[in-house]
């Protein structure tokens, strides 16, 4: 094994359980980690979270802050390429003396077993107990990329990332089973099991709670973690799969005249975005936004361009709100930026609100270059 220098020393008052939950964009990782965190808190355990994205201003970070637990954010690249930043974020959370640390990597990333899970075991195996690495799967992606029941607008390089994520998982979690019949869920779980026959495949609804307790029990066990290191990953194909996607993060201040209906605004914004994306014959990996006003929030999700969006919560009429918009779409960054700006303008005008863009970033991820990559799993006694 190649010798690597430890990024820095970390100190903890006790051993900390570390749970990473991967999966493709839109698989429901944030909702799932929220469900896990709430159960741990009810058990009397202290919890910290680390979110991750290619840029700052995340819907995920805003959502998990509602849990009132310590949250740190690693922006500017995946955990694998920003390993030192991950360690710094971990240090911030360790200062709060957690029992469990939850981490959500970027949904377009793979090879995490080799570049994140095992390096953490190598460098910090004395203070961390790393949980089995879970990969969440959205039923829409199973229909599209496994069962081939629905057409895909994604190029093969994107499907490659999805397959590699399944290949490196210790546990595969079919999420959102509340959207499926029992027969549909069984069919999808069996298809995933055929692809990865030596791994547990769980059926879970993070939103409703189905199967979460069983999943958490596996995560809190001392089962092997990061044991499925990818032996034949092609980083050029992986990089092309990421670069296909335009990424947009925006924060917008909305002011009504004198007030506006947030549900109406959200529905119009989502409709405008979907219409414009479909007109480009582009595909959505994940499109989500969060509206907050005071202590209340309302969010929307879309994981396929021609699918029905999901709206969660209610805000009603407000005089002012903040919108955080994250879009991962198979479009050029410039096209995505123009499209989103026009949709925001139309939606705000439709509800007699003024929209002030506080920040907007649109880009494609750079070539992944992890500083640490282990070719064999690390074993800890």
Q: 241, 263, 285: which is the final residue of a domain?
A: 241
Q: The domain that contains 131 carries what CATH number?
A: 3.40.50.300
Which residue, 365, 105, 136, is CA-closest to 249? 365
Q: Are residues 101 and 80 in the same domain?
A: yes
Q: Are residues 235 and 252 in the same domain?
A: no
The answer to whether 361 and 314 have CB atoms below 8 angstroms apart is no
Q: Are residues 333 and 298 in the same domain?
A: yes
Q: Would strands 201-203 and 100-103 be described as parallel, antiparallel, or unpaired?
A: unpaired
Peptide bond into 30 cis (omega under 30): no
Q: 205, 225, 241: which is the final residue of a domain?
A: 241
Please give the Cα distance from 42 to 57 (Å, whole number): 29
Q: Are residues 47 and 107 in the same domain?
A: yes
Per-residue confidence in pLDDT tens, the chain, 381 aa:
557 889 999 999 999 999 999 999 999 998 899 999 999 999 999 999 998 876 555 566 666 667 788 999 898 889 999 999 999 999 999 999 999 999 999 999 999 999 999 999 999 999 999 999 999 999 999 999 999 999 999 999 999 999 999 999 999 999 999 999 999 999 999 999 999 999 999 999 999 999 999 999 999 998 999 999 999 999 999 999 999 999 999 999 999 999 999 999 999 999 999 999 999 999 999 999 999 998 888 899 999 999 999 998 888 899 999 999 999 999 999 999 999 999 999 999 999 999 999 999 999 999 999 999 999 999 876
Q: Are residues 31 and 148 in the same domain?
A: yes
Q: Please give the C-alpha separations between residue 254 and each of 58, 289, 326, in angstroms, as whole numbers.
A: 18, 13, 16
Provide the 10 A C-beta neighbour count for residue 187. Answer: 16
**Cα radius of gyration rounded to whole Å, the chain:** 20
Which residue, 61, 60, 50, 66, is CA-closest to 98? 50
- 2 in a structural domain: no
Q: Are residues 199 and 348 in the same domain?
A: no
Q: Are residues 285 and 203 in the same domain?
A: no
Which residue, 120, 240, 144, 139, is CA-closest to 184? 139
196 φψ region: left (φ > 0), alpha (ψ -120 to 50), beta (else)? beta
- 44 in a structural domain: yes
Our separate counts of H helices and E strands in the chain read 12, 14
Q: Are residues 224 and 154 in the same domain?
A: yes
User: Is pTM, for the whole model, over 0.85?
Assistant: yes
Domain that holds residue 130: 16-241
């Amino acid at each position: 094994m190649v010798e690597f220098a430890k990024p820095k020393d970390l100190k903890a008052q006790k051993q900390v359980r570390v749970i990473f939950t991967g999966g493709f964009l839109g698989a429901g990782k944030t909702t799932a980690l929220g469900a896990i965190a709430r159960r741990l808190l009810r058990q009397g355990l202290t919890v910290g979270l680390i979110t991750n994205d290619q840029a700052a201003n995340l819907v995920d970070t805003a959502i998990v802050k509602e849990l009132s637990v310590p949250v740190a954010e690693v922006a500017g690249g995946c955990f694998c390429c920003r390993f030192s930043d991950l360690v710094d974020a971990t240090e911030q959370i360790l200062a709060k003396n957690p029992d469990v640390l939850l981490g959500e990597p970027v949904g377009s990333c793979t090879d995490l077993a080799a570049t994140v899970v095992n390096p953490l075991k190598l460098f910090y195996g004395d203070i961390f107990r790393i949980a089995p690495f879970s990969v969440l799967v959205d039923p829409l992606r199973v229909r599209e990329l496994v069962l081939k029941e629905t057409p895909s607008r994604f190029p093969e390089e994107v499907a490659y990332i999805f397959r590699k994520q399944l290949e490196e998982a210790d546990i595969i979690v079919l999420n959102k089973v509340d959207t499926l019949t029992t027969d549909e869920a069984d069919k999808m779980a069996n298809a995933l099991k055929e692809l990865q026959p030596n791994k547990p495949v769980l059926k879970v609804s993070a939103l409703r709670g189905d199967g979460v307790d069983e999943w958490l029990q596996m995560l809190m066990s001392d089962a092997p973690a990061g044991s499925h290191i990818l032996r034949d990953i092609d980083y050029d194909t992986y990089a092309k799969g990421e670069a296909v996607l335009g990424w947009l993060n925006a924060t917008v201040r909305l002011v009504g005249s004198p007030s506006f209906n947030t549900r109406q605004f959200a529905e119009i914004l989502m409709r405008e975005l979907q219409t414009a994306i479909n007109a480009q014959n582009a595909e959505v990996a994940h499109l989500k936004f969060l509206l907050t006003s005071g202590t209340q929030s309302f969010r929307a999700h879309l994981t396929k361009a021609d699918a029905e969006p999901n709206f969660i919560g209610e805000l009603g009429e407000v005089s002012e709100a903040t919108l955080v918009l994250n879009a991962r779409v198979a479009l050029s960054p410039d096209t995505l930026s123009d499209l989103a700006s026009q949709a925001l303008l139309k939606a705000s005008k439709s509800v007699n609100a003024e929209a002030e863009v506080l920040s907007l970033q649109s880009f494609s991820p750079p070539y992944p270059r992890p500083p640490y990559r282990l070719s064999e799993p690390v074993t800890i006694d």
